[in-house]
Amino acid sequence: MKRQGGFTLLELVVTATVLMILASVIVPLARNGLRRQQELELRRALREIRLAIDDYKKQAETQKIKAPPAEANFYPESLEILVEGVPMTGSLSRKMRFLRRIPVDPFSGKPEWGMRNTNDDASSSSWGGGHVYDVYTLHQGTGRNGIPYREW
């Protein structure tokens, strides 16, 4: 009688068990890696927008660009203005742009942000309009550091 080659039932069970253990370790690591990447992208996007707002304010205060209305406290009226550009002082055709595009919120996948003006309460979730002083994500989650994303 010839012996047929193949795996025994015990070998198959041991192999399946080892694969399940490895998968149970890898899946949480991959999930945490994705969340960590989204948090890094959120920090980068918020920093980019906030730097553009600050640069706009600085240029308006030094009168290098056409100043916004007095009630705006030298802040832009919307995020779109940072992309479209503002006429430079002394030139009708040249515009100064502060962003190439509005960054995408990594949690929603859309370039939509919550905004605050200087008259809004820091914990407010509604924008009073008029000018943009600060931005925040609209995502409801909490970061790995325990701070809600809206407070970043």
Residue 149 has pLDDT above 70, yes or no: yes
Q: Are 67 and 88 in contact (CB under 8 A)?
A: no
Model pLDDT for residues 74-95, shown as the tens digit of each residue: 999 999 999 999 999 887 789 9
Residue 20 has pLDDT above 80, yes or no: yes
Q: Are 63 and 89 in contact (CB under 8 A)?
A: yes
Residue 109's domain spans which residues?
Answer: 12-151
- Does a structural domain hold residue 19? yes
- Does a structural domain hold residue 61? yes
Neighbouring C-beta atoms of residue 66, cutoff 10 Å: 16
Residue 130 has pLDDT above 70, yes or no: yes
Q: How far is CA 110 from the centre of its chain?
A: 9
- Does a structural domain hold residue 112? yes
Residue 3 has pLDDT above 70, yes or no: no
pLDDT of residue 4: 67
pTM: 0.77
- Does a structural domain hold residue 5? no
Average pLDDT over residues 105-112: 93
Residue 70 has pLDDT above 80, yes or no: no
Residue 1 has pLDDT above 70, yes or no: no
- Does a structural domain hold residue 2? no
> Mean pLDDT across the chain, nearest whole number?
88
pLDDT of residue 24: 87
- Does a structural domain hold residue 6? no
- Does a structural domain hold residue 29? yes
Q: Are 90 and 40 in contact (CB under 8 A)?
A: no
**Choice among 20-24, 34-38, 49-53, 124-128 with the minimum mean pLDDT:** 124-128
- Does a structural domain hold residue 7? no
Neighbouring C-beta atoms of residue 114, cutoff 10 Å: 16
Count of the separate structural domains present in the chain: 1
